[in-house]
Amino acid sequence: MATIELRQVEKKFGEVYAVRPMDLTIGDGEFVALLGPSGCGKTTTLRMISGLEAVTGGRIYINGKDVTWLRASERDIAFVFQFFALYPQMTVRQNIAFPLESQGEKRDVVNRQIDEVVKMLDIGHLLNKKPGALSGGDKQRVALARSLVRKPACFLMDEPLGALDAEFREAMRAEIKGLHLAQHATTVYVTHDQVEAMAMGDRIVVMSNAVVQQIGSPAQVYHDPVNLFVANFIGSPGMQLVKGQYGADGAIQLPGGSLYSVPVHWRTALDTKIGRGEIVVGFRPEAAEVDENGPVAGNVFGIDLHGSYVVLHVDLAGDQLVQVRARRDHEYGLDMPIRFGLNADMVRFFDPKTELALHPEASA
């Protein structure tokens, strides 16, 4: 088992930062997701942990041991790539046995470990097939089996589900998480898909532009994003962000003219941080409650059926669309005027100048 620690780790290509100095401590058995859009530095971070990429600053510790300058092969970690990196001329069994045999393991040890992993992933019926004859999902299971069979101290996975279609991805996601729960191997998992990160991660490291934006549990990044980037990136859709004018009377004027009265516990914070001026109101679609007496008014621009509920796209004014979750048992029509309120516990506020979240405690 393993702990991983990054202290002020950075990567520069020439003058350009791929990863700005970052700190991250991953506990033994923890599943940490590195999440961000392409080019944010998540894969580079993973490659530095693995030893495939040298750091240009900072130190990396695995189990308290400084491995900063150790080679990948000396770090006792397994790497699962997005690609199905299987040897096409070998059978599934030979593919899985390969890492053990190349370490010089005895035949009976190899057989025992293969049996174990094959049972866990339910791929016994594939052992004599060649990778070319397998489906995408099965290939990925075999790739997973090959990395599991060595019983490494930790797993580093780089978008392992990226190449699969949506249906398989959902099933494999549950499978990988199930395996993690069974084995408790420390896992660092790179993805650009926030659904995967939320569903799988004990903690999520949100990155953008080479900078760690936030490190937190799924609930933290979802409900308390530290800035506008995280607010928009997490969730499908992202947090609904509406720019308004905060006035001294504790109300925000929204596009279209609606006046939204700020919950009392936020007022001191907003008075000090914003005074009178621009503010961003943030809320999740499920925090809005359709209510004919609600303070926010708009027109229905679109109606999405999502199976068990509908999402109303509400046009506040001109170009400002927000999404509001509503029950299915009511008929909504296009261009119909609508009013809604916001759950006082779930509304958030941001300073548009700094793009940072405001905190109700800030008044203290």
Which residues lie near another protein (CB under 8 A)? 166-167, 170, 173-174, 177-178, 181, 195, 198-200, 218-219, 222-223, 232, 234-238, 284-286, 301-302, 304-308, 311, 313, 319, 321, 325, 334
From first CA to last CA, the distance across the chain in angstroms is: 42
- Cβ proximity to another protein: between 76 and 202 the closer is 202
Those residues whose C-beta lies under 8 Å from the C-beta of residue 166, and which sit 6 or more positions away, are none
Q: Compute the distance between CA of residue 158 and CA of residue 149 in angstroms, rounded to an integer.
A: 18
Task: Please compute, for residue 219, the number of CA atoms within 13 A of its CA located in the half-sphere on the CB side.
Answer: 1
Q: List, in sequence order, every residue forming a beta bridge with 32; answer none if it has no partner.
A: 188, 203
Question: How far is the CA of 255 from the CAs of 118, 159, 232, 245, 271, in angstroms?
Answer: 58, 40, 19, 9, 21
Residue closer to another protein, measured from CB, 85 or 311? 311
Tokens 């029950």 belong to: 327
Q: How far is the CB of 335 from another protein (least distance, A)?
A: 9
- Other CB atoms within a 10 A radius of the CB of residue 191 amount to 24
Nearer to another protein, 15 or 167 (CB): 167
Packed helices 107-121 and 166-183: angle between N→C axes, nearest 10 degrees:
130
Largest CA distance in the chain: 78
Query: For the CA atoms of the chain, what is the radius of gyration?
Result: 25
CB of 331 to another protein, least distance (A): 12
Closest to another protein by CB, 112 vs 328, is 328
Q: How far is the CB of 171 from another protein (least distance, A)?
A: 9
Instruction: Specify the pairing of strand 310-317 against strand 277-283.
Output: unpaired
DSSP state of 356: B
Between residues 264 and 344, which has the closer beta carbon with respect to another protein? 344
In the complex, the smallest distance separating the C-beta of residue 52 from another protein, rounded to whole angstroms, is 27
Between 90 and 303, CB nearer to another protein: 303
> Shortest approach of another protein to residue 301 CB, angstroms?
6
Strand order of the β-sheet with 57-62 is 16-26, 4-13, 57-62, 65-66
The residue (of 85 and 195) whose beta carbon lies closer to another protein is 195
Pairing of strands 277-283, 259-261: unpaired
Q: What is the smallest separation between the CB atom of 98 and another protein, expressed in angstroms?
A: 30
Please state the closest distance from residue 307 (CB atom) to another protein, in A: 5
Judged by beta carbon, residue 50 or residue 214, the one nearer another protein is 214
Q: Give Cα separations from 9 to 2, 24, 123, 212 (angstroms).
A: 19, 9, 39, 11
What's 81's DSSP letter? Answer: -
> In 217-335, which ranges are E strands?
240-246, 251-253, 259-261, 277-283, 288-290, 296-305, 310-317, 320-326
Least distance to another protein from the beta carbon of 46, Å? Answer: 21
- For the bound state, the minimum distance from the C-beta of residue 105 to another protein, rounded and expressed in Å, comes to 32
CB of 219 to another protein, least distance (A): 5
Please say which residue, 79 or 340, places its beta carbon nearer to another protein: 340
Structure-token pair, residue 353: 């100048």
